[in-house]
């Protein structure tokens, strides 16, 4: 029988899955609310990266791009209303837009990384453990104890197809 060994993902890898993009919109609103309840000069630039990166990982490229563009623009609008367009507000707006560009690039990078991991999960198949195989007909005993042909066993557990032919040695013999 096949011994299934469950391997845990490393703690530093994000879990696999999908989350509805509306949750990231709520995260963006929460960041703007945090800006509202603090002083306009006190900013949380690193906090903007977190929801964009998570949106890229769990919801894809477009929710991350939308969030990376919307949150800095809303922050700029908030700064303009709070400061009234003073000289210090112009500097804050420029810094916010520059941070927004960096966050956008990071969001695109995380989206590509998540897409790459999902592709790897689709294509990487690994058989582990001992396979009980018949020495004569090459059938394999599956998890339920039934014998099935080698080709069927491998095909059911991977994206592999088989074609049959004869190697030169068997061709000469048969």
Q: Is 91 within the bounds of a domain?
A: yes
Contact (CB, 8 A) for 103 and 63: no
Query: What confidence score (pLDDT) does residue 148 get?
Result: 93
Specify the pLDDT at position 39: 63
| pTM, two decimal places | 0.56
> Total structural domains in the chain?
1
Q: Which residues constitute the domain of residue 56? A: 22-123
Mean pLDDT of the 117-128 span: 72
Q: Is residue 16 part of a domain?
A: no
Of the ranges 17-26, 89-98, 107-116, the best mean pLDDT one: 107-116
Q: Find the mean pLDDT for residues 118-135.
A: 76
Is position 87 within any domain?
A: yes
Q: Is 95 exposed, middle or buried (0-12, 13-18, 19+ CB in 10 A)?
A: middle
- 35, 12 Cβ separation under 8 angstroms: no
In a domain, 129, yes or no: no
């Amino acid at each position: 029988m096949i011994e299934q060994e469950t391997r845990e993902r490393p703690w530093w890898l994000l879990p696999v899955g999908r989350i509805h993009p509306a949750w990231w919109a709520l995260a963006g609103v929460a960041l703007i609310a945090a800006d509202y309840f603090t002083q306009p000069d006190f900013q949380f630039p690193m906090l903007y990266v977190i929801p964009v990166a998570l949106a890229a990982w769990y919801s894809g490229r477009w929710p991350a791009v939308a969030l990376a563009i919307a949150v800095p623009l809303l922050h700029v609008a908030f700064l303009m209303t709070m400061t009234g367009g003073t000289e210090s507000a112009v500097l804050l707006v420029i810094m916010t837009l520059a941070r927004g560009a960096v966050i956008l690039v990071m969001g695109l990078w995380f989206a590509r990384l998540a897409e790459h991991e999902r592709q790897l999960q689709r294509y990487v198949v690994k058989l582990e453990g001992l396979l009980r195989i018949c020495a004569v007909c090459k059938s394999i005993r599956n998890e339920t104890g039934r014998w099935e042909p080698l080709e069927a066993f491998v095909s059911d557990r991977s994206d592999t197809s088989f074609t049959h032919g004869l190697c030169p040695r068997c061709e000469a013999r048969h």
